[in-house]
Amino acid sequence: MQTPEAPGLRVIGVGKTYHGSHKPLFKNINFDLGTSGRLAILGRNGQGKSTLIKMLGGVLPETEGRIEWRMSSSWPIGFGGGFQGSLSGLDNVRFLARLYKRDYHDMLERVDDFAELGKALRDPVKHYSSGMRARLAFGLSLAIEFDCYLIDELVAVGDARFQRKCQEALFEHRAHRAFLMASHDTHLIANYCDRALIIEGGQAKVFDDIEEAVEVYTWLRAA
């Protein structure tokens, strides 16, 4: 008999109400994620997918409940607020290398190889386009090996070749890692996720059957 996988993340009764709002964005979200689990976070625009990803990444505080990490997690890939805009791409790499106690030159080589920003790494990040910022975020996240990756629609950045590169790096080269992914791309979700959390009207439900989750989400989007 196979031993169940111990959860690397536990989300217990989590809710979020923004300051000044009389109504919670969502409440009472509960789920576990195993150390190799792949959970999709689905919901129509405005339901709180990106907010939940940012809460899991420690960028936003939860209003109620608690989030318990037992594995290392990336910052939310695609969230530009993790950068210091007045610093160059190189200086941001240097800062994160120091923060995560990584070798700067090794990390820079990894970032440069993946992000393909070239000389733009010398420029202040505030002058980057959203696509360039996303490439830097993706490159930095993959330069540090995390146990779990938090993804917020970033896989849609760049041309088709770069999108394939992102998908291979995350879903194939790191097939043994966990991830949570907020995305509208049902084809991507069906291919790479094994469970889904659907947020709708402030409530959330976990689906253990990914095909059923995609079917329900598709119906919600069409409603």
Distance CA 101, CA 132 (A): 25
* Structural domain harbouring 110: 86-145
**How would you classify the pairing of strands 38-42 and 178-182?**
parallel
Whether 157 and 217 map to the same domain: the answer is yes
Whether 51 and 25 map to the same domain: the answer is yes
Residue 54 dihedral angles phi and psi, to the nearest 5°: -65, -35
- Report the range of poorest mean pLDDT among 11-15, 137-141, 158-162: 158-162
Helix (H), strand (E) counts: the chain: 7, 8
For residues 199-205, average pLDDT: 96
Whether 69 and 153 map to the same domain: the answer is yes
**How would you classify the pairing of strands 203-207 and 7-16?**
unpaired
pLDDT greater than 90 at residue 121:
yes
Distance CA 171, CA 114 (A): 15
Q: What single letter denotes the amino acid at residue 3?
A: T
Number of domains in the chain: 2
Q: Last residue of some domain: 145, 165, 181?
A: 145
Whether 32 and 133 map to the same domain: the answer is no
Whether 25 and 60 map to the same domain: the answer is yes
pLDDT greater than 80 at residue 6:
no
Whether 36 and 65 map to the same domain: the answer is yes
- Report CA 4 to chain centroid distance, whole Å: 25
**How would you classify the pairing of strands 148-152 and 64-69?**
unpaired
pLDDT greater than 70 at residue 31:
yes
pLDDT at 82: 59
Distance CA 125, CA 107 (A): 18
In the structure, what pLDDT confidence band is assigned to residue 4 with cuts at 50, 70 and 90?
low
Residue 183 in tokens: 């995305």
Whether 58 and 164 map to the same domain: the answer is yes
Whether 203 and 163 map to the same domain: the answer is yes
Angle CA 163–215–55, to nearest 5: 60
Q: Based on the number of CB atoms within 10 Å of its own CB, is 130 exposed (0-12), middle (13-18) or buried (19 or more)? A: exposed
Closest among 134, 143, 190 to 163, alpha carbons compared: 134
Count Cα atoms within 13 angstroms, Cβ side, for 161: 3
17 assigned to some structural domain: yes
pLDDT greater than 90 at residue 65:
yes
For residues 55-82, average pLDDT: 86
Mean pLDDT of the chain: 89
Whether 154 and 210 map to the same domain: the answer is yes
Residue 89 in tokens: 């791409």
In the structure, what pLDDT confidence band is assigned to residue 118 with cuts at 50, 70 and 90?
very high
Whether 159 and 212 map to the same domain: the answer is yes
Whether 64 and 115 map to the same domain: the answer is no
Element (H or E) spanning 67, and its range? Answer: strand 64-69
80 assigned to some structural domain: no
1 assigned to some structural domain: no
CATH classification at residue 206: 3.40.50.300
